[in-house]
Amino acid sequence: NAGVTQTPKFRILKIGQSMTLQCAQDMNHNYMYWYRQDPGMGLKLIYYSVGAGITDKGEVPNGYNVSRSTTEDFPLRLELAAPSQTSVYFCASSPGTVNNEQFFGPGTRLTVL
């Protein structure tokens, strides 16, 4: 199993550009999450999904959108990039049973200039 994969690893955007961060998992997990991590801060939840077709906002959803058309994929969309979105983005998945353990992807480092 590849686990949780994310692409790209790095990206530089100009203000106002848009892009999609890709996330896929091959563990058949129902639950998937997007976090951002700023320097010196913990992980903050952007959006999450409890299954295909179901998404919900986390703590910091503004400026982002998600979709969950399949169990495997959970892309994160930035429509109008802003410098405040410069961060490291992690995707995670979990089985969605009594176990809260989340498995993380390698992260995408995004810089908005």
Partner 1 sequence: EDKVVQSPLSLVVHEGDTVTLNCSYEVTNFRSLLWYKQEKKAPTFLFMLTSSGIEKKSGRLSSILDKKELFSILNITATQTGDSAIYLCAVGTNYGGSQGNLIFGKGTKLSVKP
Interface residues with partner 1 (CB under 8 A)? 31, 33, 35, 40-45, 48, 50, 58, 90, 94, 96-107
Cβ atoms within 10 Å, residue 34:
28
Burial of 4 (0-12, 13-18, 19+ CB in 10 A): buried
| Residue 17 to residue 29: CA distance in whole angstroms | 31
Cβ proximity to partner 1, 18 vs 97, nearer residue: 97
Cβ proximity to partner 1, 14 vs 42, nearer residue: 42
DSSP-assigned letter for residue 84: G
Query: Whole-number minimum distance, CB 87 to partner 1, in Å?
Result: 14
Query: Whole-number minimum distance, CB 106 to partner 1, in Å?
Result: 5
CA neighbor of 54 nearest in space, from 90, 88, 96: 96
Query: Whole-number minimum distance, CB 15 to partner 1, in Å?
Result: 27
Query: Whole-number minimum distance, CB 71 to partner 1, in Å?
Result: 15
Cβ proximity to partner 1, 7 vs 18, nearer residue: 7
Cβ proximity to partner 1, 50 vs 113, nearer residue: 50
| Residue 113 to residue 92: CA distance in whole angstroms | 27
